[in-house]
Structure 1
Amino acid sequence: MKKIIIKIVVGVLLVGVLLGGYLINKIFTSNTKFEQEEVYVYIPTGSNYEAVKKIIAPYVENLDKVDWVASKRGYTENVKSGKFLLKKGMSSFSIVRSLRLPVPVKLAFNNQESVDKLFERIASQVEPSVAELKAVFENEVFLKEHQLTKETLLTYFIPNTYEFYWDVSAEDLAKKFEKEYQRFWSNGRAEKAKGLNMTPAEVYTLASIVHKETAQAAERPRVAGVYLNRLKANMPLQADPTVIYAVKRESGDWNQQIKVVTFNDLKVNSPYNTYRIKGLPPGPIFMPDVSAIDAVLNPEKHNYLYFCASVEKFGYHEFAASYEEHLVIAKKYSEWVSKQGYKR
């Protein structure tokens, strides 16, 4: 009798060992087939488990093992959308667990040439498409609520790094950008804009010109001071970057390279050509850095009305208070341009 009991116990243990080994192999052994240390998979909103299997198939060695774990852990009926991290050597158990844990996306943007370019950048980093973004941000109700126009819409977006989940909706993106906009302008900046008799959108627009005029952040307050002096004197801004923008906008060729503004360029009939119009253009020509916005809000106080690129200190400018002084500086620059082979 004892021998029979011993045999039964041994048999049970053996079955247990075999079953345990089977389960360990099914659940806890490596089940990936990619060489890189980690990959990200993106599961769209509304996906079912069959769609998930197609998405992860290129990265999984044995889908049946994942199937078994997913069914036992209730994942097949509770699929999550989002961006998910898979690491090399993950087991089926770890894969299913990771598919429950969406990872956040660092959405960063700055220096965008236009709203369309901005939407393309956003859509490349989160789930909403360009069309979905346009439907939210360019509709008349949204523009009216935020006192924007299609020309000033870019001013709504403050360059920064934002954190979202990949499957964030376009509506929730708008809420986040609204909070950042309010935070940015409530930090004393709105009051400074009022002190300049300008709206935030006008400050942003002028900052876009200042940014394009000089890459030197330290020089931006001085350049901003020139343009503010011109606005006060009711003089046209005569900003070359606005002419370049106008030429590209009128031609529809945003990729053309314009190294030197020609006299023909100055004739382009556009509300963005500040050689032809007084005051600010209808909206920004670029998404400026925060340093350029702050340069407009904190301009250098001086009596300069003119500036021209320096031929002695490249990347910087020479400034003048009188037109006669400016002509001397501009002549040096014009002669330098001619030597480079550029035609004006």
Structure 2
Amino acid sequence: MKKRTKIILLTAGILLLIIISAGIYTYNAIFKPFDHPETVYIYIDEEKSYDKVIDQLQEKAGIPNERIFNLLADRMKYINNIKTGRYAIKPGTTMLDAIRLLRSGVQEPVNLTFNNIRNMESLAGRLSSQLMADSLSLLEALTNPDIAAGYGFNSQTFGAMFIPNTYQVYWDTSVKGLTDRMKKEYDAFWNSNRKKRAEDIGLTPLEVSTLASIVEEEATYADEYPIVAGLYLNRIKRGMRLEADPTVKFAVGDPTLRRILFKHLEVESPYNTYKNDGLPPGPIRIPSIQGIDAVLNPVSHNYLFMCAKDDLSGRHNFAVTHAEHARNARAYQRALNERRIY
């Protein structure tokens, strides 16, 4: 009897040690941090694939124990409750922490940045490279006249609503969520001070954006923006046509033109400011904050004409009289001829 009791006690002891060891192993596995020295990001798209989540975690962070992770995910009902988004797995995060984070849907926002945008196609591409939304869905929205009208714009002016800057948004934000946010940012940008400045120079906010887009296309260097803006405003005040070469390039559909010929000046388009009075119907690119503020705060001068310098530096000679401008233009044309730029 004593021998049997000893065997039972020994067996029980061994089982207890096994249970304790298994418990310690499981506990350590559950609470062992991921093996990565810095924050990594997990992206979950609309497919909501658990396998892809596992692949990303394994590749970027190194799952301490994939088998236990799967058991935890199943027990915590995460596998069938996957949420889209961008999630930060920080150093020290355990498997339990990670599952709780992913299941909660508490995301890390992205810094959405866009600038130097020429058209809606470029904007859609830039946005889609930073968000879950694909470029086609974005482009369809950005070129939809009904959507533009819903925000108080039209197809020609909709680009002005997108103020180039850096914005914190969620990676999986919807297209509508994004355009709503951009309208909110547009309204905040056009505060009472900027509206007052626009009124002082006799333009609406949309007209300011349109003129800013021309200024930016005309001037290579930002320090010339306020000077160029002042020149165009002088022409507007005098009832002169803008005669801005960038609007001709836009009208003919070739922003790379180095030389504007007479045939280009004759193109029939509401954007051709050599043939039409006033501003074109909308921006010829998405203007920057710097460009807009240059129009709102122009340099005061008497210049009415401008011409690229004959050193082809991208800077301009400014003139008050047409005779002075003609001399500058001849020098520039001569420089183009010498370099065989046609």
Partner Cα separation in structure 1 for residue 212 and residue 315 of structure 2: 17
Aligned residue in 1 for 2:73: 70
CA displacement, residues 187-226 of structure 1 (integer Å, 9 cap, x when unaligned):
4111221222221111101100101111322221110011
8 Å CA contact 1:115, 1:153 repeated in 2: no
8 Å CA contact 2:42, 2:56 repeated in 1: no
In structure 1, runs of 5+ residues without a counterpart are none
Partner residue of 2:149 out of 144, 153, 156: 144
TM-fit CA distance, 1:159 = 0.9
- 3-state secondary structure, aligned to 1:106: strand
TM-fit CA distance, 1:186 = 1.2
CA displacement, residues 95-153 of structure 1 (integer Å, 9 cap, x when unaligned):
42453442211111111111222122212222233444355555444433433110111
Partner Cα separation in structure 2 for residue 63 and residue 279 of structure 1: 67
Aligned residue in 1 for 2:42: 41
In the superposition, the TM-score normalised over structure 1's length comes to 0.84
One-letter amino acid of the structure 1 residue matched with residue 82 of structure 2: V
Partner Cα separation in structure 2 for residue 107 and residue 176 of structure 1: 12
One-letter amino acid of the structure 1 residue matched with residue 73 of structure 2: A
Aligned residue in 1 for 2:96: 93
Alignment pair present for 1:247 and 2:252? yes
- 3-state secondary structure, aligned to 2:262: coil
Alignment pair present for 1:337 and 2:336? yes
Mapping 1:257-276, distance limit 5 Å: 257-276=256-275
Partner Cα separation in structure 2 for residue 142 and residue 199 of structure 1: 21
One-letter amino acid of the structure 1 residue matched with residue 45 of structure 2: P
Aligned residue in 2 for 1:80: 83
Mapping 1:232-311, distance limit 5 Å: 232-248=237-253, 257-311=256-310
One-letter amino acid of the structure 1 residue matched with residue 290 of structure 2: S
In 2 relative to 1, CA 219–44 (structure 1 residues): closer, same or farther, beyond 3 Å? same
How many corresponding residue pairs? Answer: 332
Aligned residue in 1 for 2:52: 54
In the superposition, the TM-score normalised over structure 2's length comes to 0.84
Mapping 1:196-211, distance limit 5 Å: 196-211=201-216
Q: Which moved more, 1:301-310 or 1:268-277?
A: 268-277
Partner Cα separation in structure 1 for residue 133 and residue 9 of structure 2: 65
- 3-state secondary structure, aligned to 2:118: coil
In 2 relative to 1, CA 297–168 (structure 1 residues): closer, same or farther, beyond 3 Å? same
8 Å CA contact 1:207, 1:288 repeated in 2: yes
8 Å CA contact 2:120, 2:139 repeated in 1: no
Aligned residue in 1 for 2:165: 160
8 Å CA contact 1:211, 1:288 repeated in 2: yes
- 3-state secondary structure, aligned to 2:153: coil
8 Å CA contact 1:307, 1:320 repeated in 2: yes
CA displacement, residues 54-111 of structure 1 (integer Å, 9 cap, x when unaligned):
3432652664332112123332243221012457997543542453442211111111
One-letter amino acid of the structure 2 residue matched with residue 65 of structure 1: I
In structure 2, runs of 5+ residues without a counterpart are none
- 3-state secondary structure, aligned to 1:150: coil
8 Å CA contact 2:212, 2:294 repeated in 1: yes
TM-fit CA distance, 1:280 = 1.2
8 Å CA contact 2:151, 2:183 repeated in 1: no
- 3-state secondary structure, aligned to 1:188: helix
8 Å CA contact 2:144, 2:155 repeated in 1: no
TM-fit CA distance, 1:328 = 1.2
- 3-state secondary structure, aligned to 2:183: helix
